[in-house]
Amino acid sequence: METFHGTKTEAKEYYEKRATEFRAKGPGYAPPGKVTVGEWLQQWLDSYGREHLEASTYRSYETLVRRDISPYLGHMELGRLSVVDVQRWQAQLAEKISRTGQPLSPRRRAYARQVLRAALNEARRLNVLTHENPVALVRPPKQHPKQAQSFSREQMRVLDAALAEMDEGMALIPTFAWQTGMRLGEILVLRWGDIDWDGRMVSVQRALVETRNGPPEIKPYPKTSKSFRTLRLHHRLLETLRKRWQAQGDQETPGALVFARPDGRLLGERTVETFFERVRDGLGLPHYSFHSLRHTFASLGLQAGIDIVSISKMLGHKSFAFTAQTYAHVLDATLQAGFDRFDRLIDDE
């Protein structure tokens, strides 16, 4: 809401001028005082969100807006949203109980704040919001880094041995996952032509992504530019893959999927996850998710002495800092082992 100081005639002239500016912004635009936070969030999702966000990201944004933002702030005028309003909202989220009966995690509250801040940044850029973004002036919820769950090397020996005895097309996938660190969506669209048999290397060139309507699709390039990478295969894993390739008769079809349904169609991610969970529970392994196999690759790699920068590149992470934060607990242990080796080096003198 804007305030004008002057005569009635001057106010009318100013209003007409501003109305012309608003109309120039295009259909759907309204003065800040006439748009509520909830209305703007929906406009933002419908325009910016559908054009720039992946389907899975869009869905998570929409859920946060519907559950954690609009019920508290949606009725307020966008132009009048203040720092105090945002502080009160964050306090309300801290007291909210989720559907599981537990308080919302600091991570989820921070994610909701991130979504609101992004939406208001766009409003500020388009001059729908005429004052500074109030979310930027409020401290985010304090977060404690979540420790990545990973299996031990001995647990992976037990898993690999059990999988090797199974006559099941999906049986090699968990072993492949923990020995390469690849995401499940990358593994399921791997093609025989991506494997360099002589160099013992596999190229990550595409990924399986969700769509808003219909089945998942194969994206030509992975999640980020850093996701495109080449990884080395253990010789036993390579030999197992070679036997599978020869048995399937795919030597002349490098475009065929390495892991697929009997008819050659894509496997669903949830199908593979369910299979893994059944095997995991049958072996009495910790109730970690399939994604923990990726964490296992990173943790065991760090324990083996691979540096954090190389691990980050192998995982296709967006930054080394993200990798270091995710595996800080492993780095602490490897740091102590490094000190021990340094002590022995000094003692040898």
Taking the C-alpha atoms of residue 135 and residue 172, their distance in angstroms, rounded to an integer, is 47
Picking from 110, 137, 164, the residue at the C-terminal end of a domain is 137
Rounded to 5 degrees, what are φ and ψ at 149?
-90, 130
User: What is the domain count for the chain?
Assistant: 2
**312 and 244, same domain (yes or no):** yes
**320 and 215, same domain (yes or no):** yes
Task: Give 36's strand partners.
Answer: 77
Which residue type does 100 have?
T
**177 and 274, same domain (yes or no):** yes
CATH number at residue 15: 1.10.150.130
Taking the CA atoms of residue 243, residue 245, residue 251 and residue 257 in that order, the dihedral angle to the nearest 10 degrees is -170
Flag whether 143 is in a domain: no
For residue 311, the enclosing domain spans 153-344
β-strands 195-196, 201-204 pairing? antiparallel
Taking the C-alpha atoms of residue 210 and residue 293, their distance in angstroms, rounded to an integer, is 21
Along the 349 residues of the chain, how does pLDDT read in single tens digits? 455 455 555 555 554 555 455 445 544 445 545 799 999 999 999 988 888 888 888 989 999 999 999 999 999 999 999 999 999 999 999 999 988 888 998 889 999 999 999 999 999 998 889 899 999 999 888 776 667 899 999 999 999 999 999 988 899 999 999 999 999 999 999 999 999 999 999 999 998 887 766 778 888 765 566 678 999 999 999 999 999 998 887 666 778 999 999 888 899 999 999 999 999 999 999 999 999 999 999 999 998 888 889 999 999 888 888 888 788 878 777 777 766 777 777 777 5
**86 and 179, same domain (yes or no):** no
**133 and 157, same domain (yes or no):** no
What is the C-alpha end-to-end distance of the chain, expressed in Å? 76
Q: Which residues contact 315 (CB under 8 A, 6 or more apart)?
A: 181, 294, 297, 298, 323
Burial of 76 (0-12, 13-18, 19+ CB in 10 A): middle
**275 and 161, same domain (yes or no):** yes
